Amino acid sequence: MQMDYGVVNAMIGRKVSETFWGTRTEHIIGVAAALAVADHGSAAVFQNILGKAISFADTPAAFVAHTFFFIFFGVIFYAGGTFFL
CA 63 to chain centre: 18
Residue 57: what residue type?
A: A
Determine, yes or no, domain membership for 11. Answer: yes
User: Measured between alpha carbons, how far is 15 from 21 in angstroms, rounded to an integer?
Assistant: 15
Give a yes or no: residue 77 inside a domain.
Answer: yes
The predicted structure's pLDDT at residue 72: 97
Buried (b) or exposed (e) across 46-75, using 16+ Cβ within 10 A?
Answer: beeeeeeebeeeebeebbeebeebbeebbe
Number of domains in the chain: 1
Helix (H, G, I), strand (E, B) or coil at 2: coil
pLDDT digits (tens, 9 = 90+) for 30-70: 999 999 999 999 999 999 999 999 999 999 999 999 999 99
- Name the pTM for this structure: 0.80
Q: Is 18 domain-assigned?
A: yes
Whether residue 16 is contained in a domain is answered as: yes
Residue 68 lies in a domain: yes
Is 25 part of a structural domain of the chain?
A: yes
- How far apart, in whole angstroms, are the C-alpha atoms of residue 22 and residue 1? 16
Within a domain: residue 2?
Answer: no
Q: What is the residue range of 26's domain?
A: 7-84
Please answer whether residues 20 and 27 qualify as being in contact, where contact means their C-beta atoms are separated by less than 8 angstroms: no
Question: pLDDT value at position 45?
Answer: 96
In a domain, 1, yes or no: no
pLDDT-based confidence at residue 1 (cuts at 50, 70, 90): low
